[in-house]
Amino acid sequence: MHRTAQRGFTLIELVTVVVLLGVLSVVIAPRAFNSQVFNARGLHDETLAFVRYAHKTAIAQRRTVCLAFTGTSVALAIAPLPASSDCTATLTGPTGQSPALLTARSGAAYDVQPPDFGFNGLGQPVDVLGTPMPTQTTLQVAGMALSIVVEPVTGYVHE
C-alpha cells in the first residue's frame, strides 16, 4: 500500500492563529488608529528640528534668530542687523516656507506654552531682550515623556 503525504493545517492550528490575530487586533488597533500619539511625536520631532535650525541659522548669519511660541505653533524671525536683538525680518524655513512657521497637527500641543527666546550670533540662547539665558530652557509636548532642552552658553539643543 502506498501512503500519500497529507497537506494542510489542523483545526487546532487554524483556531490558534485566529485567536492570536484577535488578541493582537484588540491590543494594536487602538494604538494604530489613535493619531494623537503620532501627532504629538511629530510635533516633538519637528520642534526639535526647528529649534536646531534656528540655532544653526543664528550662527551662520551672525544675527539673532527669535522663536515665538503659542500653545500649538512656533514661528521664526531674524534680526535685520547683526548687532540688533529685535527680530523684525522674515526668516525662510528649512523647507523654503516663508515665514518659517511650524503648526501642530490636530490633537498635539505644547504641555505649557514655552517662553519666547532666541539665539544670538554666537549661538547662545537669549531672552526677548537679548540677554543671555543663565539656565536651561525646556520645551515639552503634551503626552511626550521626552523634553527638548536648550543648554545655556552653548545653545546645544538635545532631547
Q: What is the pLDDT of residues 127-142, one digit of tens each?
A: 999 999 999 999 999 9
Residue type, 127: D
Please give the Cα distance from 43 to 90 (Å, whole number): 22
User: Is 14 domain-assigned?
Assistant: no
Taking the CA atoms of 157, 143, 93 and 91 in sequence, report the sign of the dihedral they define. negative
pLDDT of res. 92: 93
Structure-block grid coordinates of residue 154: 552653548
Cβ-Cβ contacts under 8 Å for 149 (sequence gap 6 or more): 136, 137, 138, 139, 157, 158, 159
Q: Give the residue ranges of the chain where pLDDT is below 70.
A: 1, 32
Question: Percentage of the chain with pLDDT > 70?
Answer: 97
Residue 94 lies in a domain: yes
Looking at residue 1, what is its pLDDT? 62
> Could you tell me the residue range of the domain that residue 140 belongs to?
36-158
Q: List, for residues 100-127, the tens digit of each pLDDT value.
A: 999 999 889 998 888 899 999 999 999 9
* Domain assignment of residue 81, yes or no: yes
Q: Can you give the CATH number for the domain in which 83 is found? A: 3.55.40.10
DSSP class of residue 129? T
Residue 99 lies in a domain: yes
Neighbours of 89 (CB within 10 A): 14
126 vs 152: CA distance, rounded Å: 9
